[in-house]
Chain A
């Protein structure tokens, strides 16, 4: 991952990126002459974009002294893991991480079950008001969460759910659920209806046809949706900051406080950041294409 920022490394000559959701890959540039210039610019862009990620990992692996040297080194040798140890000592790390895991996984589990039912309704049934429901689900995703924090805070207060994980899980459904419904709908629409119909011709009930035919085909999409929803819940900051107390908080708030209280200890802070980010980046790499591709299909008509 870090070599995205180290163009001096030998280039890996590989077939085009797996992350490119391109159905057709242009094999010949119109003017091969310009190719090397474009490549140069491309490498420069990748370097600049990747630099913050690389700098985070680089700092995390350095000794204290090297991290704040006035002549920073671009490679973290000698490598040390002291900063990670230090980050774990500064304040409780595993508690917040554990809470983040519980919140994110529960939110996603509820979101998937509830969202799948709704996705089925709008993709497999024709009914009056369907379009209104679809527009509603789209519109709901557009409401900025920040604007909702005040009434949500008061709501949890009224329900006795302030500073409780169950309360924050409920509020996280605000953004996980509409996204799940919408994404699953996209996956279901892509499964040909004829498969279900022929299963029903063969004697399956409608439910049976769904369980035996559609569900297996939908499984990869559900996994991708779950992972993406999990990442969103894991990354959320504002609700976690406001709806949980300092002693009962999540990993993102833990890292945010790291900034405010120990602002000078940058090397351990980068170690904490690395621990928060690496799992997310890896999972994101796994699902990015499934979630993001198809976004433009149908939007561009040849």
Chain B
């Protein structure tokens, strides 16, 4: 779900859209909505969307919460045994399990790393884009959009191939440079393995960040930068005190989005490990999936998924606040 997982929110330019728009000149227009009058119209228009979302999102979210407090496994699914309420038992089991905390720490470290690299590389590439010649810019944009557009499953298979132990081009390149990487298996050690998974995630996520920040950079008023330079600020100071503050709303938005996406990384780990991630490769998403669909303990899986969502709530709140601050939601 990445990269383009649920996707780019659009922030169109603001239009003051007061409902009671200025009356048109000339003869009075027919009152707006003479066909469908009244306050019901917008709700009628919204009804189908609300109905669909209630079924596919609202109900599952409630069900997720309910499951977390129940004992629901294979036998309950087939109706052999009644579902029981367990109160907080699932949570106390999960929270007292050291394996769970290992997974939490691993997920947080992975997310922080992936988001950090994505933002730094994205910003550097965006700044490079406004400094290179036209033909280089074209070249970079082609590469950016091509890697952005790659379906995640395809990207995983390509990375698997590039880092293959016996025939991977990366081992060959590193050996050529004089390092001993002949027949090197990148996945024996999970730190190395996660480095590759992180590279894959960052590679898929950087284009969106770079292109968005580049668009933002082109909107930084030149006068501001020039004024700063006239006042004797060096390149770094201009960047630190002019560029970054102006870009800050976009940076906050992109960083929070990236956290949400990178916490939700599933296919990259799942497929890299051939559909069975080892214990040292489990992230919260795969861990919850395993509990539900490998061990068939849907309740435990739900409890873990719910805890993941709770972990994310703060980040989601920051993102929403930023969107409101931008004045998008008028």
Chain A residues with CB under 8 Å of chain B are 1, 4-5, 7, 11-17, 19-26, 29, 34-35, 38-39, 41-43, 45-47, 49-50, 52-53, 55-56, 59, 67-72, 114-115, 117-118, 120-123, 125-128, 130-131, 133-135, 138-155, 157, 170-171, 173-175, 177-179, 181-183, 185-187, 189-190, 193-194, 197-198, 200-201, 205-207, 228, 231-232, 234-238, 242, 252, 255-256, 258-260, 263, 266, 269-270, 272-273, 276-277, 280-281, 284-285, 288, 291-300, 302
Minimal Cβ-Cβ distance residue in B for A272: B157
Which residues of B sit under 8 angstroms from A235, Cβ to Cβ? 4, 151-153
Cross-interface CB contact of B45 among A118, A142, A151, A157, cutoff 8 Å: A118
B18 proximity list for chain A (CB < 8 A): 126
A-B contact pairs, 6 of them (CB 8 A): A14-B138, A141-B9, A236-B1, A252-B151, A256-B267, A295-B215
B142 and A4 within 8 A (CB) = yes
| Size bin of chain B's contact surface | 35 or more
In B107-147, the 8 Å CB interface with A consists of: 125, 128-147
Given A23-B218, A207-B35, A256-B271, are A174 and B29 neighbors across the interface (CB < 8 Å)? Answer: no
Closest to A204 in B: B30
CA distance A166 to B289 in the complex (A): 23
List 7 A-B pairs, minimum CB-CB distance, nearest first: A126-B19, A284-B149, A50-B143, A151-B60, A121-B45, A144-B264, A151-B63
A13 to B132 CA separation, bound complex (whole angstroms): 13
Chain B contact surface mostly? helix
Contact status B151-A193, CB under 8 Å: no
Give 17 A-B pairs besides A19-B144, A174-B53, A292-B211 with Cβ atoms closer than 8 angstroms. Answer: A4-B143, A14-B134, A14-B138, A17-B138, A20-B129, A35-B133, A46-B140, A50-B143, A144-B312, A145-B1, A146-B289, A151-B67, A170-B52, A197-B21, A200-B32, A206-B35, A266-B167
A255 near B154 with CB under 8 A, answer yes
Bound-state CA distance A285–B164 (Å) is 30
